[in-house]
Amino acid sequence: MKTITHWIDGKPVESTSGRHGAVYDPATGVQEKQVGFATVDEVDAAVASAKAAFETWGVSSLAKRTAILFKYRELLDAHRDEIAELITAEHGKVHSDALGEVSRGMEIVELACGISVQLKGELSTQVATRVDVASIRQPLGVVAGITPFNFPAMVPMWMFPLAIACGNTFVLKPSEKDPSASFRLAELAAEAGLPDGVLNVVQGDKVAVDRLLEHPDVEAVSFVGSTPIAKYIQLKAVEHGKRVQALGGAKNHMLVLPDADLDFAADQAINAAYGSAGERCMAVSVVVAVGDTGDELVAKIAERAKNLKIGPGNDPSSEMGPLITREHRDKVASYVTSAAEQGAEVVVDGSGYAVEGHEDGFFIGVTLLDKVPLTADAYRDEIFGPVLAVVRAESYDEAIELINGSRWGNGTAIFTRDGGAARRFQLEVKAGMVGVNVPIPVPVGYHSFGGWKDSLFGDLHVYGNDGIAFYTQGKVITTRWPDPADAGINLGFPSHS
């Protein structure tokens, strides 16, 4: 059986821990690979390699960094199908969705290619007689990223391209459930000319995570995952003096006003709730139907949901693939049962779904719940599966109060033809990313991604300007080159005159 290894100091490194994680094909339920879990010593070796590489990479020219990143972007483009196939094989998402993931990750590589513009400093001349003040940004050193299973290529690319473009070196700890894509990203970076040690990948579990959080040579940690782990990452990293950005879970609401195009809204609800089998932190998991739109909208969503083609991700006819593990599939199914017990109406029940010829795969059908009580687990919890809950509100004011009452604030959307209502919503809603007739408002690479409330721990979002600020530290330089006529001693307090 193939064993997926670490990538340390520019080469594959076998794990010596004797501990492994199973890597499944979710469409068949069969273990196809295993991944070696890192020891503390192996994490230390990756950090040591990154620290040594920083000595030269951190002072390398922007021209050198961007030349490598441009080459890297070319290689990613040439290998995008291959990377997508790795994602489909280990995560289960359909190939078109995996390709889209690679493309969105490449947006951040493209942003990193323009880092010379982003890192321009500021200069104020003659702030006092013959005194100039300049502000510059410099890299931190060794930084780390801990990434989730649902986007095994895109989320790492949210982090390391920008970090290394800023002059840092990077240690990545990807999800142990689908680790091959990250390893391939590191191989291609080396092929592009990235020096040994600038990008390292350590496979593993909590042992590797905790060592990165504790290691004195790691200056900052980026994380994307569930809210409980994001809280843990923040507390542990801050305890050890590190800068941290930790993105947590979500319960994203889609508000549909009575004037909305309901066919369009139903189409977008299907796309946003069931794409990637709902395993997206930006998936729409709640539709808030305002006024008398509920019955018609639910009927339209149900009609579309029943016609979705569910199957293996490598089948071109499949629109939705399996979930990542058997345990997660069973947990998602349990929410359908509990929703019915807690007062919701199950309009479409996907909990017992099976794909012919793939009965052992981790498949589940799509579920649509209506009139879901706000006290139900299916409303309160992040399910991370293809379960869409519909709640009713009598007015816009009731709807906005409901959405803002959620403990999460990752993304939200409004569907309406009323520009005034849309403008009011985007100012009043308590969420970090807002869509107007856009159900999954993931920002383009030059804007930053991140939520509010229990969806973000730390001050800065990922990529965009926030990402550059996170991976750099500011320095202000005050300079005076005296004129020979200035000779003499003056013990008075300096003034700006």
Q: Of 136, 127, 192, whose CA–CA distance to 164 is shortest?
A: 192
What is the C-alpha to C-alpha distance for residues 260 and 435, in angstroms, rounded to an integer? 14
Burial, 155: exposed, middle or buried (Cβ in 10 Å; 0-12, 13-18, 19+)? Answer: buried
- In DSSP terms, 473 is beta-bridged to 138
Residue by residue, DSSP assigns 290-329 as EGGGHHHHHHHHHHHHTT--B--TTSTT-SB---S-HHHH
User: Are the CB atoms for 208 and 232 separated by under 8 Å?
Assistant: no
What is the C-alpha to C-alpha distance for residues 314 and 318, in angstroms, rounded to an integer? 8
User: Are the CB atoms for 324 and 29 separated by under 8 Å?
Assistant: no
Q: How many residues does the chain have?
A: 497
User: Are the CB atoms for 152 and 172 separated by under 8 Å?
Assistant: no
- What count of other Cβ atoms lies within 10 Å of the Cβ of residue 225? 21
Q: Which residue type does 454 have?
A: D
Catalytic residue among 281, 347, 355, 413, which?
281
- What count of other Cβ atoms lies within 10 Å of the Cβ of residue 340? 16
What is the C-alpha to C-alpha distance for residues 108 and 111, in angstroms, rounded to an integer? 5
User: Are the CB atoms for 140 and 169 separated by under 8 Å?
Assistant: no
372-377 own/partner pairs: CB under 8 Å, 24+ apart = 372/286, 372/339, 372/343, 372/344, 373/342, 373/343, 373/344, 374/402, 375/342, 376/338, 376/339, 376/342, 376/343, 376/344, 377/335, 377/338, 377/339, 377/342
- What count of other Cβ atoms lies within 10 Å of the Cβ of residue 464? 22
User: Are the CB atoms for 429 and 412 separated by under 8 Å?
Assistant: yes
Active site residue 281: yes
Q: Where are the beta strands (DSSP E) in 94-217?
A: 122-128, 131-139, 142-146, 169-173, 199-201
- H-assigned helices in 221-371: 227-239, 262-274, 294-305, 326-341
Q: Of 290, 163, 146, 173, whose CA–CA distance to 230 is shortest?
A: 146
* DSSP annotation of 281: T
Q: How far is CA 331 from the centre of its chain?
A: 22
- What count of other Cβ atoms lies within 10 Å of the Cβ of residue 242? 22
List, by residue number, the catalytic residues.
281
